[in-house]
């Protein structure tokens, strides 16, 4: 078993198939079709990330009304920013850029473990130090969650930064988009990071002890080590 830890979630059948279809389209389809399929893939990819990391936990822990409103509103704004940016960027990409993106996205899909529920996982590695700083508040805060709220919030914000670096900033740097498109994408990335940090900071400090304990369980559930023999 690998000692590397990953931030990840089980990809839907739809996302898995869209990734396969897009890679096939690079060989079989014209530029217009490739661009449309790339936009659809990236939009679905972003939506599933946000749904899994933000919307799913608020339903599972039955978050209070104020916290739920903050999360839903924040996610809606982030999705709008992402979709608008993707529309502007994808139609300007060269054939080489589209191939690079296909390879990069495919590299994010890892078979972290055997699963009957998910065809694959979307995963990015995290450092041992970040894993420790996420684990310690969970272990220390079971009796008094409020006492670890600040440390836990800081660790979660860094986890968001790791995800944005992998899902947005690295692909932006990889592509040769030109100054204007690069600026649009960078501004969008910074806006998304700021919005996500704000959501986490506001929501965690509005949670009851019971909600916080349930969120501890959620945050542990999205961190993985590859385990080929373990069925998810």
Average confidence (pLDDT) over 57-74: 80
- In the chain, where the domains are located: 5-224
6: alpha, beta or left, given left = phi > 0 and alpha = psi -120 to 50?
Answer: beta
Let me know: does 225 contact 64? Beta carbons within 8 Å.
no
Q: Does residue 218 have a pLDDT over 60? A: yes
Using pLDDT thresholds of 50, 70 and 90, give the confidence band for residue 231.
very low
Q: For the purposes of burial, counting CB atoms within 10 Å of the CB of 95, is it exposed (0-12), middle (13-18) or buried (19 or more)?
A: exposed
Among candidate residues 106, 136, 138, 100, the one with its CA nearest the CA of residue 123:
106
Q: Does residue 65 have a pLDDT over 90? A: no
Residues 68 and 85: their CA atoms lie apart, in Å, by 26
Give residue 14's pLDDT: 95
User: pLDDT digits over 9-44, tens only?
Assistant: 999 999 999 999 999 999 999 999 999 999 999 999
The answer for residues whose C-beta is within 8 angstroms of residue 220's C-beta and 6 or more apart is 134, 135, 138
Among candidate residues 66, 110, 99, the one with its CA nearest the CA of residue 206:
66
Percent of the chain with pLDDT over 70: 96
Residues 230 and 227: their CA atoms lie apart, in Å, by 6
**β-pair partners for 6:** 125, 224
Instruction: Calculate the alpha carbon distances from 227 to 8, 78, 114 in Å.
Output: 13, 33, 8
Q: Does residue 228 have a pLDDT over 50? A: no
User: pLDDT digits over 131-180, tens only?
Assistant: 999 999 999 998 899 899 999 999 999 999 998 888 888 887 777 667 87
The predicted model scores a pTM of 0.81
Using pLDDT thresholds of 50, 70 and 90, give the confidence band for residue 63.
confident
Average pLDDT value over all residues in the chain: 87
First-to-last alpha carbon distance for the chain, in angstroms, is 15
């Amino acid at each position: 078993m690998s000692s590397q830890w990953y931030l990840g979630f089980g990809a839907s059948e739809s996302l898995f198939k869209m990734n396969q279809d897009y890679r096939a389209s690079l060989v079989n389809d014209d530029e217009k079709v490739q661009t449309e399929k790339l936009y659809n893939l990236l939009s679905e990819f972003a939506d599933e990330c946000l749904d899994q990391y933000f919307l799913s936990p608020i339903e599972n822990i039955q978050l209070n009304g104020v916290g739920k409103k903050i999360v839903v509103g924040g996610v809606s704004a982030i999705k709008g920013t992402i979709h608008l940016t993707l529309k502007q960027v994808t139609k300007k990409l060269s054939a080489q850029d589209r191939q690079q993106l296909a390879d990069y996205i495919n590299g994010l899909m890892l078979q972290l473990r055997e699963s009957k529920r998910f065809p694959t996982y979307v995963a990015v590695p995290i450092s041992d130090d970040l894993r420790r700083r996420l684990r310690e508040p969970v272990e220390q805060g079971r009796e008094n969650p409020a006492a670890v709220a600040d440390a836990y919030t800081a660790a979660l914000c860094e986890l968001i930064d790791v995800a944005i670096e992998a899902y947005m900033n690295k692909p932006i740097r990889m592509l040769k988009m030109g100054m204007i498109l690069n600026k649009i994408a960078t501004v969008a990335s910074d806006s998304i990071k700021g919005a996500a940090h704000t959501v986490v900071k506001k929501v965690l400090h509005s949670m009851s002890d019971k909600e916080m304990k349930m969120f501890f369980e959620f945050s542990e559930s999205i961190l993985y080590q590859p385990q080929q023999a373990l069925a998810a």
